[in-house]
Amino acid sequence: MNDIQGSYNTAAADYHAILKDYHQADPFEQGALDYFGALVEDGPIGDLGCGTGRITAYLAGRGLDVFGVDLTPGMVEVARREYPALRFEVGSLLDLDLKDDELAGALAWYSLVHTPREQLPTAFAELYRVLRPGGVLVHGFKVGEGSRPLTHAYGHDVDLQVYMYEADDVAGLLADAGFVEVATVTRAALPAEKDAGQAAHLVRKPATP
């Protein structure tokens, strides 16, 4: 976690400048986010691993009640500066400072790309805990196998490991946590991307035990 925080503290401002409007250039991302927004019933939404708040702001612009949480203080500082009308807090997706059944919706939008597979069950259990019955989660991630080091990104030297997962494997882990599938969307890698592709699982916490 120290490597993640240190890397993104350094790169936060340039990260935001490069990615703040990315959803407009990628129909996959915008489509998945719009689908998620349409599924969530009234209530608070947590953008968990929000980075500099670009997705938080996009969903807020669609009239949703959304706030952001990120591990990295530097990312949260940029988010608060860029989107002062929205709420952002520092916190870990593996140990959220949220009540049981608090959220109507949650996003883990590429929030777990630096998380090894053995920690995914902990993350998914925590997401399940904070969602109310009937609540919806969208989890975006990179498709593939294994991991690769990331030593330079957003114009800065960083020290990160990027993990990729097969969609069926992630679906199984989400089911083990108690979620039921709503939809899975995948796409092939774009020419500029190094990874095998992208995926988004939309899942729901059952309305009744």
Letter for the amino acid at 32? A
Q: Of 28, 33, 71, which is closest to residue 193 (Cα–Cα)?
A: 28
CA dihedral sign, ordered 178, 183, 189, 193? negative
* Helix residue ranges, H only, 40-91: 54-61, 73-82
DSSP code for 32: H
What amino acid is encoded at 43 in this protein? G
Beta strand extents in the chain (DSSP E only): 45-48, 66-70, 88-90, 103-109, 131-143, 147-153, 156-163, 180-188, 197-204
CA 96 – CA 151 distance, rounded (Å): 28
Q: What is the pLDDT along the chain (209 residues), one digit of tens a residue?
A: 556 776 766 777 777 787 777 766 678 889 999 999 999 989 999 999 999 999 999 999 999 999 999 998 998 999 999 999 999 999 999 999 999 999 999 999 999 998 999 999 999 999 999 999 999 999 999 999 888 887 766 677 777 788 899 999 999 999 999 999 999 999 888 777 766 789 999 999 999 76
Region of 117 on the Ramachandran plot (φ > 0 left; ψ -120 to 50 alpha; else beta): alpha
For Cα atoms 190, 194, 196, give the angle at the middle one, nearest 5 degrees: 70
Read off the tokens for 189. Answer: 């890698």
Is pTM beyond 0.85 here?
yes
Structure tokens at 112: 């777990």
